[in-house]
Structure 1
Amino acid sequence: MENPIIELDGLTKYYGVKKAVDNLSLKINKGEIFGLLGPNGAGKTTTILMMLGLAEPSAGQAVVCGINATRNPVAVRRKVGYLPDSAGFYDNMTALDNLLYIGRLNGIAEQEIAGRAKKTMEMVGLGAEMYKKTGAYSRGMKQRLGLADLLIREPDVMILDEPTLGIDPSGIRDFLHLIRQLSMEQELTVILSSHHLHQMQQICDRVGIFVEGRLLAEGNIETLSGSLFGKDSYVTQITVREALSAPEEVERQLRRLEGVTSITIGADTIEVSCSTDITPDIVGFLVQYGLNITGVHKKEYGLDEIYHRFFENNIKKENIQWEAR
């Protein structure tokens, strides 16, 4: 059910003659994790700056939490927390003291600030490390402290720009799990800007694919896969113990299943392409038919393949347009 907390309408930004963001229209719902996906220079950071009211659009508008970000940027920044790719803190102060200082700067009442700061440190997994000086923190710990910096302000929206840059693989897994948990427990809307495809697939409800300032596509993995790969979005490969005695009959029966688009039968394999995921129906039929199944492998197009196909299609389109000039 749509419940947009961010609405971008025709958002466009020029820097001189260069168009950094090109007529971007997008709605992001309350409580969802939305990924801005694209290479460096794709327009992701410029879009974030316009949502925060830190850059003025050349055309269009950004409405965040019901507030026009250009007309009232201060009010927007009271509702939105922003974590850049490298959070900065006073290294000679403890993490808790850093957080207390941030809380006071944001007008949190003195009688509640200490309790809220400690609770927030526990929330991001730094309860045992809150009295350490920030200079002794690892990159991953500083990013967690950056999350605490946002959370102590109780935002409605968190914008994270390349938050896992420089964090080790184990730390990345924990950090992404923390973001997902916070989003679910507090119904926080999270915008995650990154070019790390695997991480985005792990955490995002929807993604928007940006190339050269344009939003080429947006949706969840299934929607994007369907729009790109169409009727062959799902491929199920079945391995059987013995060669099929009547492959034509097996194929004829499989084609009666709704959604089947093509079938390839080998010596001991059956590969079925479908418009929807009907793997249980395929396996069920083959078992009933009396085949001894030794393996089932599903191929679903992941974000890596989806992104590169969109990117390749865009490059081809640009080349065609250029040749036509």
Structure 2
Amino acid sequence: MVEKSIEIVGLTKKYGNHVAVDNLSLSIEKGEIFGLLGPNGAGKSTTILMLLGLTDADSGSVKVCGINTARYPLKVKRRVGYLPEDVGFYNDYSGLQNLIYVARLNNMAVEKAKKAALEILLEVGLFDAKDKKVESYSRGMRQRLGLADVLIKRPEVIILDEPTLGLDPEGVNNFLGLIVRLSRKKGITVLFSSHHLHQIQQVCDRVGLFVRGRLLAEGKISSLAEQLFSKNTFTIEGAITSIHEDLDDAVIPLSEVVRKMNQLNGVAKVTLNDKRFVAVSEKDVTAELSRLIVNSGYGLNHLSKKEYGLDDIYHQYFQEEKKYNQKKV
């Protein structure tokens, strides 16, 4: 049986007439990196507050590491690390001093706290800056120190709320890579909340699409694409040429080649227009298509493959949501 780090059932939170979180149910496995993707105001941060026991739900239940967050919020906080978009530190302390202070707050002995802080600073790439005051740290260094701050108490779950805001592209890549390495190395469950599609796609095992307090869909990107695009998740485009002077001189007519392409396993439809073809399929048939074309006495000017990514999925779900709301009106 797969162990669950986070279990949410029927979670609802209202502020007056505004429904911030609407009947949310979700489970996240131990050691998984789960992406909660949605625009600003979708209800992601409110969900996180309820996960941490920092605000009460109107209905539903939340368990983190098997602990009911409403009943035992302090027990949850001991086992969960939280990194917001902007972390607060004592700026006149060094990075090392900040970490030791946090470790001491978590009842760690002085020598043990210093040893743990040095090890974590090395892991997050701040060892050389350990004695510098935090006021001199760049945005990227502060975020890495924030991650170290989270790790110092050895959490089982880490919750990241828009942690890459303000970072340059290189800083984002370095930070995301660090998250993945640490999660895999230590078996930490990560909930990554963001509105950046490509970042979620880059690091997450599964994704939940969150809009207006509702979880529209969740799963692996490949399975979400299958649900949305009738299992035809690949589009392959190419331009056919001939090794003969004229296509008419080829041994097999081009129409016959297209007919055979349509019969390949996994291919939904192949269309041809002025020697250019578009094949829609439920799996990657690039190799099979190119082999068939070449064996039929033709050549290829180019061949390209498009696999539906998270941006396609996300925008398609928005369209489905709009249609749903229009029907309700």
TM range (shorter): over 0.9
The farther-off stretch of 283-292 and 309-318 is 283-292
Match of 2:133 in 1: 133
**Letter of the aligned partner of 1:257 in structure 2?**
L
1:293 aligned to which of 280, 300, 313: 300
Match of 2:76 in 1: 76
Q: CA deviation at 1:4?
A: 1.8
Q: CA deviation at 1:269?
A: 2.2
| Superposition map of 1:230-241 within 5 A | 230-241=230-241
Q: CA deviation at 1:244?
A: 5.0
1:256 aligned to which of 243, 259, 263: 263
Contact 1:247-1:265 at 8 Å conserved across structures: no
After superposition, the Cα gap between the structure-2 partners of 1:282 and 1:134, relative to the gap in structure 1 and judged at 3 Å, is same
| Superposition map of 1:47-196 within 5 A | 47-196=47-196
Match of 2:221 in 1: 221
CA–CA separation in structure 2 for the residues paired with 1:207 and 1:99: 32
Match of 1:279 in 2: 286
Match of 1:321 in 2: 328
CA–CA separation in structure 2 for the residues paired with 1:240 and 1:148: 55
The Cα offsets for residues 112-157 of structure 1, whole Å up to 9 and x where unpaired, read as 1111100000000111111110000011110000000011110011
CA–CA separation in structure 1 for the residues paired with 2:232 and 2:247: 24
**RMSD in angstroms over aligned alpha carbons?**
1.4
Contact 2:85-2:162 at 8 Å conserved across structures: yes
Contact 1:121-1:148 at 8 Å conserved across structures: yes
> What is the SS of the residue equivalent to 2:131?
coil
CA–CA separation in structure 2 for the residues paired with 1:280 and 1:260: 12
**Letter of the aligned partner of 1:62 in structure 2?**
V
Contact 2:232-2:268 at 8 Å conserved across structures: yes
> What is the SS of the residue equivalent to 1:47?
helix
TM-score for the superposition, normalised by structure 2 = 0.94
> What is the SS of the residue equivalent to 2:122?
helix
CA–CA separation in structure 2 for the residues paired with 1:283 and 1:241: 12
Q: CA deviation at 1:55?
A: 1.1
Contact 1:206-1:221 at 8 Å conserved across structures: yes
CA–CA separation in structure 2 for the residues paired with 1:156 and 1:220: 22
Q: CA deviation at 1:268?
A: 3.1
Contact 1:231-1:261 at 8 Å conserved across structures: no
Contact 1:244-1:268 at 8 Å conserved across structures: no
CA–CA separation in structure 2 for the residues paired with 1:135 and 1:52: 29
The farther-off stretch of 6-15 and 307-316 is 307-316
Q: CA deviation at 1:311?
A: 1.3
Q: How many residues are paired up? A: 322
CA–CA separation in structure 2 for the residues paired with 1:72 and 1:179: 27
The Cα offsets for residues 11-35 of structure 1, whole Å up to 9 and x where unpaired, read as 1111122111111111111111111
The Cα offsets for residues 82-112 of structure 1, whole Å up to 9 and x where unpaired, read as 0011011011110110011011011112231
> What is the SS of the residue equivalent to 2:298?
coil
> What is the SS of the residue equivalent to 1:230?
coil
**Letter of the aligned partner of 2:270 in structure 1?**
I
Q: Which runs of 5+ in 1 are unaligned?
A: none
Q: CA deviation at 1:308?
A: 1.2
Aligned-residue identity in percent: 49
> What is the SS of the residue equivalent to 1:146?
helix
CA–CA separation in structure 1 for the residues paired with 2:220 and 2:301: 32
Q: CA deviation at 1:287?
A: 2.8
CA–CA separation in structure 2 for the residues paired with 1:190 and 1:181: 12
CA–CA separation in structure 1 for the residues paired with 2:129 and 2:168: 19
